[in-house]
Structure formats: C-alpha cells, structure tokens
C-alpha cells in the first residue's frame, strides 16, 4: 500500500440549504434546482484504518455508534468505498468507524457527507491516486448532495446538484460565522417521497429557473442579511403532511423574532440566531412542541 497514512479521521459536516428552489422535473426523472448551501461546524467523524480482506473476501467494513444506522452495503460509506475501488483499481481495504452526530432523514446531508469523507480518506490511504476532478465525478454518482462536500461552502448548486460553484465572496461573508440552531423531530422525511409529491402536484410548488436565478442574484448583488436569502419551496409538500413543522416555525418567529426554515427536504429545520437570541429558551420551546427526544444543536456556518 502506498501513501503516507496508516489511519485517519475525517470530519463530515452537516449542510443547510439556505436557499432552495426546485425549478422543475427533468426528462430523466431527476429535478433541477438552484440552491445556496453551507456546511456547519456540527457533523459526523469518520475514522478509517487499512485492513486486509476478511474471510469472506470483503475489503471494507463499517461500524457505527448509532445502532439505527445500516452497516451493510446500503450505507453510503460502503457504496463510496466500492465506487472508489472500481474507479481506481485500488486493491486495498479499510475499516470504517463512524461517529454519527447528524440525524438521518433530516435533509442535512449526513449520509452524503459521510460518503465524501470515505472517498477522501481512501484517496489518502491509496496515496492520492484520484485527482480532485475525478473525486467529484465519482461523488456525483453517489448522490446529488455529494459534490458540494468536496467544495465546502458556501456554494451554489445547480442542475440536480452536480454543478457546484463557490458563492461570491462578498455574499459568502454575510453567511460565514452566523450562529444557527438546528432542530429535528423524531420523524424523518424521505427525500424521494418529497420529490414525488412535488412532481405529482405539477407546477404548483416549482419556482421557474429564471425566477429562482433572479431572486438569488438580487440577494448576492445586494447587501441584505442572511435572513433575506432564506427560501425553500420543498416546504410546501412537507408542510401539507407534517403540520407540526409549520406550526412550530411560526411560533418561533413570533415568540423569538428569528427566521426559521426547513433544510432540504426536511424534516430538520433551522433558525438563524441573533446576538441576543435566548437559545436555551428556544430549545425548551422546541422540545415542548416536538418532544424531549427532539434533536437540537447550536452551531455555526463554516
């Protein structure tokens, strides 16, 4: 095995869609989107160490401290490992140990971020055999959110998520370092279900591409605060079925004066925090509404 590393640990951040406009369905069944995405300072940690194939001939193995996380080939970490081996011909193996801190079914990109962490780790273990452009190409085959985690943030995603570019620096500066409270109820929302609902409702929930681009450009070229950027037209289908989401977000806006939205296809939501926002009191209100097991974490935009 080449490369200067025998083991490594890679941070896999969660993401937030601050601006998400689904613009329509494509002929291939995917949806086009325009989205401003940021990573945050909360996330999973993926520990990776080299190993030889086990008795069954499997080169890769995964353990996780969250018993609800699948540890078979349906997990994106192992899918990423298989894709890396197929793309490079690398004959090595690895044991992955995942410290899971990003909830599943949340719209926070946890699985995609873990997959990209696996790609990066294996590339280091293999001695950097895959160039950044090839990493991005392989990442895109694993999921629409994956390429953004190679770039960090803030970024603008287009297409079905495979076209990623850095947000203009002046605009990015209005986002970096902002404190944010992320919270998720016990239930998740399956992304395929959300997209199917949007497609079934025709154009009712879509925002046409030109309108989405104009709305984004107005914020980027102006000087408005991050709160003025927030938008997510996937909220429509989610809120119709999961009424607990809009009810709580409205309460938080009214009681605490924060701008609260859903991230991605949900069910996680977030609120941008001001200097005087009573975060502990907000957390108490969220758990009072959604239950004591509600996931709540304060973090910052990276």
Per residue in 144-161, pLDDT (tens digit) is 889 999 988 899 999 988
Q: Is 32 a catalytic residue?
A: no
Picking from 54-58, 87-91, 203-207, 235-239, which range would have the lowest pLDDT averaged per residue?
Answer: 54-58
Instruction: Give the pLDDT score at 149.
Output: 95
Select which of 15, 79, 100, 184 is catalytic.
15
* Count of beta carbons in the 10 Å neighbourhood of residue 173: 11
Select which of 32, 145, 184, 275 is catalytic.
145
Burial class (CB in 10 A: 0-12, 13-18, 19+), 156: buried
Q: Is the pLDDT of residue 56 over 90?
A: no
Q: Whose CA is closest to 38, among 153, 182, 171? A: 153
Instruction: Give the pLDDT score at 7.
Output: 87
Higher-scoring residue by pLDDT: 162, 186? 186
Percentage of residues in the chain having pLDDT higher than 70: 97
* Count of beta carbons in the 10 Å neighbourhood of residue 149: 27
DSSP per-residue letters across 9-71: EEEEEEEEEEEEEEEEE-TTS-EEEEEEEEEEEEEEEEEEEE----TT---EEEEES-TTS--
Q: Please calculate the CA angle 184-78-197 and round it to the nearest 5 degrees.
A: 45
Instruction: Give the pLDDT score at 203.
Output: 77
Name 184's Cβ contacts closer than 8 Å, sequence gap at least 6: 103, 106, 108, 267, 268, 269, 294, 295
Instruction: Please report which confidence band the pLDDT of residue 204 belongs to, taking 50, 70 and 90 as the band edges.
Output: confident
Q: Tell me how far apart the alpha carbons of residues 101 and 98 are, in angstroms, rounded to a whole number.
A: 9
Q: Does the bond joining 267 to the residue before it have cis omega, within 30 degrees of 0?
A: yes
Instruction: Please report which confidence band the pLDDT of residue 52 belongs to, taking 50, 70 and 90 as the band edges.
Output: confident
Picking from 39-43, 52-56, 286-290, which range would have the lowest pLDDT averaged per residue?
Answer: 52-56
Picking from 26-30, 110-114, 175-179, which range would have the lowest pLDDT averaged per residue?
Answer: 26-30
Instruction: Give the pLDDT score at 1.
Output: 39
Q: Is the pLDDT of residue 225 over 90?
A: yes
- Calculate the average pLDDT of the chain: 94
Q: Tell me how far apart the alpha carbons of residues 298 and 272 are, in angstroms, rounded to a whole number.
A: 10
Instruction: Give the pLDDT score at 271.
Output: 98
E runs forming strands in the chain:
8-25, 31-50, 60-64, 94-99, 155-158, 163-166, 179-184, 231-232, 259-262, 269-272, 295-300
Give the mean pLDDT of 53-73.
Answer: 89
Instruction: Please report which confidence band the pLDDT of residue 55 belongs to, taking 50, 70 and 90 as the band edges.
Output: low
Strand 179-184 with 269-272, pairing: antiparallel
Domains of the chain as residue ranges with CATH: 8-166 (3.30.230.10), 177-300 (3.30.70.890)
The length of the chain, given as a count of residues: 302
Q: Whose CA is closest to 133, among 162, 160, 106, 108? A: 162
Picking from 77-81, 200-204, 275-279, which range would have the lowest pLDDT averaged per residue?
Answer: 200-204
Predicted TM-score (pTM) of this structure: 0.93
How far is the first Cα of the chain from the last one, in angstroms, to the nearest whole number?
34
Q: Tell me how far apart the alpha carbons of residues 246 and 86 are, in angstroms, rounded to a whole number.
A: 44
Dig out the tokens for 145 from the structure.
């959110």
Give the mean pLDDT of 37-52.
Answer: 96
Higher-scoring residue by pLDDT: 258, 28? 258
């Amino acid at each position: 095995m080449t490369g200067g590393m025998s083991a490594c640990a890679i941070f896999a951040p969660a993401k937030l869609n601050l601006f998400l406009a689904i613009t329509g369905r494509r002929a291939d069944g995917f949806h086009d989107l325009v989205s401003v995405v940021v990573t945050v300072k909360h996330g999973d940690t993926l520990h990776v160490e080299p190993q030889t194939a086990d008795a069954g001939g499997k080169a890769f193995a995964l353990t996780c401290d969250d018993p609800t996380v699948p540890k078979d080939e349906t997990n994106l970490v192992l899918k990423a490992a298989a894709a890396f081996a197929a793309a490079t011909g690398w004959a090595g193996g690895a044991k992955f140990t995942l410290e899971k801190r990003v909830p599943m079914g949340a719209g926070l990109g946890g699985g995609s971020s873990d997959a990209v962490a696996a790609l990066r780790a294996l590339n280091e273990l293999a001695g950097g055999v895959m160039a950044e452009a090839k990493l991005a190409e392989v990442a895109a085959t694993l999921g629409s959110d994956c390429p953004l985690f190679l770039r960090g943030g803030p970024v603008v995603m287009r297409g079905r998520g495979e076209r990623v570019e850095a947000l203009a620096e002046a605009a990015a500066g209005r986002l970096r370092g902002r404190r944010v409270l992320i919270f998720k109820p016990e239930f998740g929302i399956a992304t395929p279900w959300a997209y199917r609902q949007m497609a079934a409702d025709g154009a009712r929930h879509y925002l046409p591409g030109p309108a989405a681009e104009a709305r984004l450009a107005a914020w980027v070229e102006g000087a408005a605060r991050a709160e003025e950027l927030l938008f997510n037209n996937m909220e429509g289908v989610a809120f119709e079925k999961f009424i607990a989401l809009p009810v709580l977000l409205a309460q938080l806006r009214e009681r605490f004066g924060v701008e609260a939205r859903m991230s991605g296809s949900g069910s996680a939501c977030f609120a941008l925090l001001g200097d005087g926002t009573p975060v502990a009191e907000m957390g108490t209100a969220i758990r009072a509404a959604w239950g004591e097991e509600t996931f709540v974490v304060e973090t910052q935009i990276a």
